[in-house]
Amino acid sequence: MTALIPLSMQDLAPVADGTSTTQALRHTIDLAKLGDALGFTRLWYAEHHGMPSIASSSPDILIASAGANTSHIRVGSGGVMLPNHVPLRVAESYRTLEGLYPGRVDLGIGRAGGSDGHTLQALRSFGGEHFSEELAELLAFERGGFPDGHPFSKVLVVPEQIKLPPIWLLGSSGASAQAAGELGVGYSFAAHFSATPPAPAFEAYRRSFKPSEWFSEPHAMICLSVVCAPTDEEAQFLSGSQALSWALFHSGQIRKLVSPEEAAAHAYTPHERSIIETQSKLWIIGSPETVKAQVMEKVAQAKADEVMITTTMHSYEDRLRSYRLLAEAFGLEPRG
């Protein structure tokens, strides 16, 4: 059976109410092993800070852990929020990862900070204000693009004789699409939280694409939020965790991921219902048949080359089951 489209995973390392962050981090290994066995193409870790419901603040460490516990699946960042980092350290970290797991690492890069203003201040982050310069600096370290006399022209990037893994630019508005094409890198669109249609961004990306050392042709990936269960009814019930947690977060109530039982019993305010009504239009929830049809519809509309799935569920076992159901529905080829 041939897969309908390559499927990949994004892991936020969600922390469920009643569990610890340590447990959430250990579960990242379980998901990595499962994705490797089921035939998913890649597994990316997001970078978020200051959120008790998300444990993925250090993608490079999680990538190293996943790489050590898998054999085939690509592991990468989705992404490194470049304004939070010094470009040289990013180059060093991801060359190191590429040396440890050659041919299996991706470097996804974003311009957002991934947190609140106070936390970004503690990170010494400037937000996206200098993103273009930071990205140019990272590429110059890789390609030797500093002019003579520049103080960085004599910097030796170590480890030596290892190239950066394939670079992807992440976008949620289309602003980075043309730049991704001109640089010859991959492009991933965050349709799991952005209501902006991805098709125009993908078109701009392909139109401006120039081959590079990483990509000979354009590769556009769409990231979708999916909750899959054996029936539509069960999936809707389990998705209550994501819905209430999203509403609470955007109402200023910072908590771990709530249970679907708490979500079902919650007395929603008009403001909370409005938040959920707006955001839930982006979520794909249902049985394998329902999910497959909706995912493929979005793929056709956007003309995407690959789909990355992020799944937020209170139960880790239900989350693993969701990915198993997706792998079967889309005809992924299991690995030994």
DSSP string, 124-172: T--TTTTHHHHHHHHHHHHHT-PPTT-TTTTPPPSSTT-PPPPEEEEES
DSSP element (H, E) containing 75: strand 74-81
pLDDT at 132: 92
End-to-end CA distance of the chain: 16
Residue entry with tokens 């008009």: 270
Instruction: Note the pLDDT of residue 1.
Output: 61
Asked if 146 and 156 touch (Cβ cutoff 8 Å), the reply is no
Alpha-carbon dihedral sign for residues 27, 29, 32, 34:
negative
pLDDT for the residue numbered 129: 74
Q: How far is CA 63 from CA 11, 27, 34, 191, in A?
A: 11, 13, 15, 23
Spacing of C-alpha 181 from chain mean position:
19
| Structural domains for the chain | 7-230+287-329 (3.20.20.30)
Q: Do residues 110 and 125 lie in contact, with contact meaning Cβ atoms separated by under 8 Å?
A: no
β-pairing, 105-110 vs 74-81, is: parallel
* pLDDT one digit per residue (tens) for the chain, 336 residues: 688 999 999 999 999 999 999 999 999 999 999 999 999 999 999 998 888 899 999 999 999 999 999 999 999 999 999 999 999 999 999 999 999 999 999 999 999 765 667 667 776 666 667 899 999 999 999 998 898 889 999 999 999 999 999 999 999 998 899 999 999 999 999 999 999 999 999 999 999 999 999 999 999 999 999 999 999 999 999 999 999 999 999 888 889 999 999 999 999 999 999 999 999 999 999 999 999 999 999 999 999 999 999 999 999 999 999 999 999 999 999 997
Spatial distance between the Cα atoms of 279 and 195, rounded to a whole number of angstroms? 8
